[in-house]
Structure 1
Amino acid sequence: MKKISKALLASAMCASLFGCSSNENSDATVYKIGICNYVDDASLNQIVDNIQSRLEEIGKENEVVFDVEVENCNADSTVLNQIITDFQADNVDLMVAVATPVAMAMQSATEGSDLPVIFSAVSDPVGAQIVDSLETPGANITGTSDYLDTTSIFNLIFAADPDADKIGLLYDAGQDSSTASIESAKQYLEDKQIDYVVKTATTTDEVKLAVDALISEDVDAIFTPTDNTIMTAELSIYETLIDAKVPHYTGADSFALNGAFLGYGVDYANLGVETADMIAQVLLDKENPSTLAVRTFDNGTATINTETCTALGFDFETIKKAFEPLCTQVKEITTAESFDDLEG
């Protein structure tokens, strides 16, 4: 109920905000935008929040109004398709897809049309066949990618534990965003002649069982890419991993927010800002999504949960010193359900 109340409050505030803008700028051009988030997740929510705040800034700078509707399908494909249908019926000027499954659904629903779609947090847009190439997407869809540098994460794993000789790979095989990263991880470990154990899961209960199985296999660490299923389940597994003294290395800072030892990847707040800038390029500057290159980022940020770090028996300062040559920056975080909870 707490999360629902927050979402409703945020939605009401947003509606009020854009309503005021419309009243104050009655002659301004209004652009209708439909945003669909895949799941209630700290990193993805950051993207949505920053898209909205950046669009507000752009609207004021250009004396236009962005009338934004935000929906969340909660990983339900039926709900997702209905949201897209509703956006189309409302004659939105542009749709925004947050996460790979939403981008794929919007691509399918708008194929052959001129309705622009901007995606965010799509890890492998070419592999998921959403775009022809990163440089030239080729159709009505483009956006921002949170591509994961798998090698960089494994460099961190072995910097923390040079003697690690068995790694667990945990992901949802149904998440297209995870596939390329897992294959890259396997290749990395095979090249290094290091054993690995693969476990997949599609629900939180299955994730718990998969974690138990990995622990029983005596893995030294577990790797998970930017996988929404595992991310959602992190609060349910991090204490089990701490008790087993198994660090969880992951592909987003929201994992670390929810108890994982480390999240490595892009700044999701910045990802939202850049996504909003691309929306403006399409709607205000009239750029064509088919030729607007996908934006990729690798800011090399390692986010360490300091509570988990200590509980695992690591000394934070020692770990930080080992990681710093391998990252652009090392950030600290503690466990919470959302980034707002940390600020509160």
Structure 2
Amino acid sequence: MKTMNMISRRSFLKATAAAAVVSALGLTGCGSSGSSAAASSTASSAAGSAAAASEAGQTFKVGIVNYVDHASLNQIVASVESRLDEVGAEKGVTFDYADYYANAQADQSNLNQIGADLVADQVDVIVAVATPTAATMLAAVEDTDIPVVYSAVTDPVSAGFDGEEGITGTSDALNTEAIMNLITAINPDIDTIGLLYDLSQDASTQAIADAKAFCDSKGIKYIEKNGTTTAEVQMAAEALVAAGVKAVFTPTDNTVMTAELSIYETFTDAGVMHFTGADSFALNGAFVGYGVDYVQLGEATADMVVELLCGGKTPADLPYQTFDNGIVTINTESCEALGLDLDTVKEAFKPYCTEIVVVTTQENF
């Protein structure tokens, strides 16, 4: 995958002038083109929501806001962009996202500034990647006709998005029981499992609760360690190794994902298997990633954008989407470092997944 810019070029110029560090995005209506005058934006938005189709040659401004540089989230962004390019070519329209991409680098003040700039720039739709991004963008577009399409929101209901006007998207909800079954399949006698996550990550809350319930039902002890920064996650990983756990579970946690390249060797050197909630963890060194296909997630997100801009749909017409959790991704290098036979691991996992993919560690993708 391509390396994502931290902020867009246009916003960098704004940031330099205003001492801000993030880029800008904005909105007009579905039926209006990106070059419509500000004075007609409200009327255009109202008319656009009822439009049956886009006109050839139209240009739509698509704001894409990423929460942080993170393997899974970057995969989604690249997939959204690729799909929009594909559909744009088919329909003879242009989805201009290049001028409206921003990465908040996990900073709430950045998100707030991006949200303010979105409205001022009058983009046609905002794609918000990850729960904090979606929540901030939804607040930013209050009292406007700007639709928000989120991606990688693990629990849209708990986040308050389900049924909320003006927002829809795709969820990467994790089937925690399935991944816990993977742990016990290869470790049938395991008596203690480590739980590594960031307490502040909404995406981790339910999954960790489910993991604890699973352990309680099986009579397995668990040890929790937390971190809110890469350095803290490193210390937490070392603490789990010192505690003697042989397997660690991490859900779709953005903080731990960002730190994975810094901790995977700590685990493999100690013979600890790291089971995680996304394939991107495995691409960054974790033994196993399990969950949704983030490329597919991005494509589905882009298709919702197209429905809004070119199909005359509103967010209320498009319920949020979830995906089957059944893809196991095994890092073969970590598997070997752990002293495990790949074929034996595959056989143990087969009853608990729909597909097995093998990868090697990649620092950039």
TM-score with structure 2 length normalisation? 0.84
Q: Which residue of 1 aligns with 2:75?
A: 46
Question: 1: distance between equivalents of 2:140 and 2:5?
Answer: 27
Question: 2: distance between equivalents of 1:167 and 1:107?
Answer: 37
Question: 2: distance between equivalents of 1:56 and 1:320?
Answer: 37
Question: 2: distance between equivalents of 1:179 and 1:8?
Answer: 30
Give 1:254 deviation, angstroms: 1.0
- Cα 1:27–1:124 shift into 2, 3 Å: closer
Aligned length: 319
Give 1:104 deviation, angstroms: 1.1
Give 1:319 deviation, angstroms: 0.2
Give 1:7 deviation, angstroms: 3.5
Question: 2: distance between equivalents of 1:126 and 1:166?
Answer: 32
Q: Deviations over 1:295-317 (max 9, x none)?
A: 10014100000000011111101
Q: Which residue of 1 aligns with 2:315?
A: 289
Which among 111, 120, 131 is matched to residue 80 of structure 1?
Answer: 111
Q: Deviations over 1:180-209 (max 9, x none)?
A: 111111111111121001111100111011
Stretches of structure 1 that go unaligned for 5 or more consecutive residues are 13-21, 132-136, 340-344
Question: 2: distance between equivalents of 1:138 and 1:39?
Answer: 25
Secondary structure, aligned partner of 2:275: strand
Question: 2: distance between equivalents of 1:151 and 1:232?
Answer: 24
Indicate if the aligned counterparts of 2:227 and 2:233 stay in contact, CA closer than 8 A.
Answer: yes
Which among 121, 127, 137 is matched to residue 106 of structure 1?
Answer: 137
Question: 2: distance between equivalents of 1:85 and 1:10?
Answer: 15
Matched, 1:58 2:84: no
Indicate if the aligned counterparts of 1:302 and 1:327 stay in contact, CA closer than 8 A.
Answer: yes
Matched, 1:70 2:101: yes
Secondary structure, aligned partner of 2:64: strand
Structural RMSD (CA): 2.0
Give 1:8 deviation, angstroms: 4.8
- Cα 1:259–1:27 shift into 2, 3 Å: closer
Matched, 1:181 2:212: no
Which residue identity does 1:277 align to in structure 2?
A: D
Question: 2: distance between equivalents of 1:203 and 1:8?
Answer: 21
Indicate if the aligned counterparts of 1:113 and 1:140 stay in contact, CA closer than 8 A.
Answer: no
Question: 1: distance between equivalents of 2:363 and 2:212?
Answer: 31
Matched, 1:158 2:184: yes
Q: Deviations over 1:9-63 (max 9, x none)?
A: 9978xxxxxxxxx9xxx97222111100111122111111111111111112222
Q: Deviations over 1:255-304 (max 9, x none)?
A: 11111000000111111111000101111112121241111001410000
Question: 1: distance between equivalents of 2:68 and 2:289?
Answer: 18
Matched, 1:256 2:282: yes
Question: 1: distance between equivalents of 2:3 and 2:133?
Answer: 23
- Cα 1:10–1:204 shift into 2, 3 Å: closer
- Cα 1:309–1:141 shift into 2, 3 Å: same
Give 1:138 deviation, angstroms: 3.2
Indicate if the aligned counterparts of 1:261 and 1:304 stay in contact, CA closer than 8 A.
Answer: yes
Q: Which residue of 2 aligns with 1:121?
A: 152
Which residue identity does 2:191 align to in structure 1?
A: D
Which residue identity does 2:185 align to in structure 1?
A: A
Indicate if the aligned counterparts of 1:142 and 1:290 stay in contact, CA closer than 8 A.
Answer: yes
Which residue identity does 1:316 align to in structure 2?
A: L
| Deviates most, 225-234 or 107-116 | 107-116
- Cα 1:8–1:189 shift into 2, 3 Å: closer
Secondary structure, aligned partner of 1:318: helix
Stretches of structure 2 that go unaligned for 5 or more consecutive residues are 10-33, 35-54
Secondary structure, aligned partner of 2:340: coil
- Cα 1:10–1:301 shift into 2, 3 Å: farther
Question: 2: distance between equivalents of 1:248 and 1:256?
Answer: 9
Matched, 1:97 2:123: no
Which residue identity does 2:358 align to in structure 1?
A: E
Indicate if the aligned counterparts of 1:234 and 1:259 stay in contact, CA closer than 8 A.
Answer: yes
Give 1:112 deviation, angstroms: 4.1
Question: 2: distance between equivalents of 1:223 and 1:101?
Answer: 23
Which residue identity does 1:173 align to in structure 2?
A: L
Question: 2: distance between equivalents of 1:307 and 1:202?
Answer: 27
Which among 58, 62, 69 is matched to residue 29 of structure 1?
Answer: 58
- Cα 1:243–1:27 shift into 2, 3 Å: closer
Which residue identity does 1:218 align to in structure 2?
A: G
Q: Deviations over 1:132-153 (max 9, x none)?
A: xxxxx33110000111000000
